[in-house]
Structure 1
Amino acid sequence: MSNEYRHVLVAVDLTKDSHKVLERAIPIARRNHAKLSIIHTLEPLGFAYGGDIPMDLTSIQDQLDDHAKQRLAEIADPCDVPREDQHVVVGMPDTEIHRFAKEYDVDLIVVGSHGRHGFALLLGSTSTGVLHGAQCDVLAVRVGKDGETDE
């Protein structure tokens, strides 16, 4: 794979560490004169509740989507990421990140990783899922500190 990247995708979870991941990706994109996109994935409410709730969750999902778009803009706007390059999608995070990367010819995915000790502790995490299924380079940016929890 070439050392030059044409499209960098930053996957964030909207926690307080998301800006660290984006700030790590920006210089890489600038050095390569690459397009920079940012993505956040919401899991469908039906997955969270196992589909056992006999009610329409559409309006709640729409509210979550709107909130995620607003939060993503708060992270991306100060870094001059255009709104058309800010994406909120619904689905399983690693699957949706892979789909987006393939569909938009992404050649570098940047994700946050909490850097827990031992590879086994990462199994099941989004960053590990992205790493194992990606068809392009993946940069895992260490975020948080040992023992620190997300907001």
Structure 2
Amino acid sequence: MEVKTILWPTDLSKNSLKAAKHVVSLADKYKARVVMLYVGTDPLSLLPAWGSYPNEEHLRHFRDWELEQAKKQMEKICGEDLKGCPMLEIRVVQGDPATEILKMAEAEKADMIVITTHGRGYGELDARTPEFGRTVARVIRGAKVPIHLVNPFMEE
């Protein structure tokens, strides 16, 4: 199997960051490029439910702030946890997480997706349930490339 590009979607939660060691190891093994992806929520999609408050301008400001903060946190993670990944690119987008992950995998021609079985979710409750998180379950069903799953609850 040849792996030139690895897509690592993360919601920046403690759970999702446990995939970092796997990403570094696989990138080193295959000498692969890593695309680290954060998908922010689009608060503008909530306007119909909220009515006229908060207004669109406030929501755009919040959206831009969220993406800016995510990018800063990703850059910090890259500097601390992903030093072994010299070919690392950061992508920050908005939308439905599973949809955007699958779109990015195709756009970046990813050969593999590395993702944890649970992200933000419900913490210890997730650890006691056998089901995957909602986003990862949808990614598994829609992916056209192999997926390396990381259990964030396993002992290190």
TM (norm. structure 2) is 0.79
Q: Deviations over 1:15-73 (max 9, x none)?
A: 12333212111111111111111111111013355553421111111111111111112
Identical positions, percent:
24
Partner of 1:131: 140
Please tell me the residue identity of whatever aligns with 2:112.
Answer: L
Please tell me the residue identity of whatever aligns with 1:63.
Answer: W
| Superposition misfits of 4+ residues, deviation over 6 angstroms | none
Structure 1 contact 18–75 (Cα < 8 Å) conserved? no
Q: Does 1:90 align with 2:89?
A: no
| Number of aligned positions between the proteins | 141
Structure 1 contact 42–91 (Cα < 8 Å) conserved? yes
**What SS does the corresponding residue of 2:18 show, helix, strand or coil?**
helix
Question: Aligned equivalents of 1:91 and 1:134: distance in 2?
Answer: 17
Question: Aligned equivalents of 1:143 and 1:49: distance in 2?
Answer: 34
Partner of 2:45: 47
Please tell me the residue identity of whatever aligns with 1:137.
Answer: P
Q: Deviations over 1:103-150 (max 9, x none)?
A: 1100100111136533xx33x6111111110010111100136xxxxx
RMSD in angstroms over aligned alpha carbons?
2.4
Partner of 2:129: 117
Please tell me the residue identity of whatever aligns with 2:6.
Answer: V
TM (norm. structure 1) is 0.82
Gaps of 5+ in 1: 146-151
Map of 1:1-151 to 2, 5 A cutoff?
3-48=1-46, 50-54=48-52, 55-56=55-56, 57-78=59-80, 79-80=82-83, 81=85, 85-114=89-118, 116-118=128-130, 121-122=131-132, 125-144=134-153
Question: Aligned equivalents of 1:82 and 1:44: distance in 2?
Answer: 31
Question: Aligned equivalents of 1:125 and 1:116: distance in 2?
Answer: 15
